[in-house]
Amino acid sequence: MNPATRAAVAGARRSPRRLLLTGLAVLVATVFAAGAVILTATLRGEVTGSLSSVPAGAAYSLETGGPSDGADPAAVVDRLRAVPGVDAVSESRSGPSSVEAGAASGSWTLSTDPMTGPLSTLDPLTAGRLPSGPGEVLVGAGTAERTGLAPGALVGIGGRTLTVTGVVPLRSGNGDALVVPDGDPAATALYGGRIAVAGSPDPAALAAVPGVGAVATADEQRDADLASASASADALLAGLSVFVGLALVAAAVVVASTFRIVLARRTRELALLRCVGASRGQVARSVLAEAVLTGVVAGAGGAALAVAGGWAVSAVVGATGTEVPELVVPWGRLAGCVLLAVVVTVLAALSPALAAGRTPPVVALGAADATGARGPRVRVRVTLAALALLAAGALAALAVELGDALTGTALAALSGMSVFAALVVAGPFVVSGAAALLAPLVARWAPGRIAVGNARRMSRRTAAMTTVLSLGVGLTAALLVAVAGASADARASIDRNYPADVVVFPGTVDRDTDALAARLDAAPELTARVSDGIVLVDPAPGADPVAVRSAVARGAGDASAAFVADMREQTERAVGAVRGIGLGLVGVTLLVAVVGVGVTLALSVSERTREIALLRTLGLSRAASRRAVAAEAALAGAVAAVLGVVIGGAYGVLALAATGIGAPTSGIPLGQLAALAAAVVAVAVAASVGPVRRAGRIEPAHGVVAA
């Protein structure tokens, strides 16, 4: 280990706080990355362990052919039962069905199950008993909770009245669900296609049965189902990886800025190392060694926090009585997260490390206090920013022209990242310009003058805070605009495609729409008409909503009835869920940005101890020094809010255009964007609380001596 590296390691040992501050943003990003990996692994384990529809006792899984390939499914099942070696046969059937159940009447999911034997897929009942034959039905546990149905209750399906005998847990999502025994007349109109066979028959004999399209062993079919489930989990991981990448990009910007500030404060130390014989390469390698140490500590700490958080969340949720999947901790992938943290930290420190190595010893000793105030190279930065903006414009135009939603969205995202790259490069000029515009407004306020002066003099430092914050704000603004546009488009689509309170689609039995409409119209609570092959139903004036639902369920038969009010509610629920998940993911980038603001200001106050002490000596009060630091944070937050809202809003509209939706029909959500901007400024000021308090504690004489 060369002397410069030993000095860097010794410095980290003497001042662990500096190491912590430098790696704090990387730690937050690693927590997110490791948490995403644990979540995906747990989801994959849960899905692959329960998604396969092949019963545990099945030996073979059969796919039935189309109607032209043989007899009806019931005949196929009967023929299979006659095959030597077959112990049991069950055809899985499921689909929507009109159910009359008071205020919850409507289209429910109806499925079949043999109820007993090796081919039953039901979990233990939570109440009641299993059906003993046709005319009895099980209700899903979630449905029972929502509707109040319990053993002994009656429901109507296709003109028949069925008795609820038990409550069973079902994986039916948010929809209402019922289960009837195999062969129940209520299941005749449901979709089939997969048949499970128990026993030890000859596969060739199964394949020879008319109507059987394909034969696979139960294990082969489970493997196929699990592969599909794993693909879904992998797709989720790919989606989360985008946000993990954004958080790591934000962390890299913060770390690069932090290293610049730290090295500016250590210029004299590095210069002394050069004077006693350390080469440029040794100085640069010492900085990179410190970056590796920072990345290892922050990465390992982030991974450990993610694992501890996963166990804690599982324990808390499990204590409430909710069934929680077993936490899967993929240690190999977590090690990859730690390695990624190290790589990101080293890459972020590369430029400051090379700059530290290039500083001549004599110049460094004479300019130790001014290193951080060197202005950015205008020509290089302007050229790079212009190229990035040209690339962003070309990608945006291509995203709109392609007409493919997936590719267009990806191109729009790449365009946005190009704009962010331009902002990173040109950030010092943007900050200097904003500070110049604000200077006349704060000319009579000493803390404001100090904050604006620092922003202009240390434009690269302030720009690092601003650009990272603008990334988080831009992502949030784009999400708000895109969700508002998608929600408005979904509502408009419902109003356009469903011009009535209830829309009834013909079933497999009730194909005659005129007869179906006449039957529905005969109910005093309803008025019905036929339009484009579907039946449109409106409530009669003054009709009770519960009576309307019951009348529709009675008259629809096996037809599927869609209540527009329910569709609107489901749409709003889905939009709200997407908004919540998106804001949660984007919030991690914002959290990294806020951490960056706090770290940068903390190091800034430490770097400016002599300056603040001198100002205190000249009459600046303790409160005014605090306000100056808070004003600097507010300036960074305000610039980030304006840039993020404008750029993010534009890219939200671009994303809608790329997906074919177009601009929001209800307009841009200006209220939400304004609230976002105000919140960002407030959060930036809140992040400066620690540095503000430290600035206020600096004593004039002590600061001058200690600096």
Give tens-digit pLDDT for 4-62: 566 666 665 666 666 666 777 788 878 878 887 887 777 666 655 555 678 888 999 99
Place of tokens 């804001």: 583
Per-residue pLDDT at 67:
47
For residue 236, what pLDDT is reported? 58
Q: State pTM to two decimals.
A: 0.72
Mean pLDDT score of the chain:
80
> Which of the four pLDDT bands, split at 50, 70 and 90, describes residue 64?
confident
Q: Which of 591, 603, 606 is nearest to 683 (CA)?
A: 591
In this structure, what DSSP letter does residue 59 have? S
- Could you tell me the pLDDT band of residue 643, with boundaries at 50, 70 and 90? very high
Q: Any alpha helices (H) in 320-372, and if so which ranges? A: 331-358, 361-366
Query: Quick check: helix, strand or coil at residue 117?
Result: coil
Q: In Å, how far are 14, 281, 290, 637 from 10, measured between CA atoms?
A: 6, 19, 10, 36
Q: Could you read off the pLDDT of 656-672 as tens digits, one per residue?
A: 888 877 666 566 888 88
pLDDT: which is higher, 558 or 459: 459
pLDDT at 198: 94
- Alpha-carbon distance of 639 to 430, in angstroms, equals 9
pLDDT (0 to 100) of residue 70 = 47
Spatial neighbors of 52 by CB under 8 A, at least 6 apart, are: 221, 222, 225, 226, 229
pLDDT of residue 265: 65
- Which DSSP category does 152 fall into? T
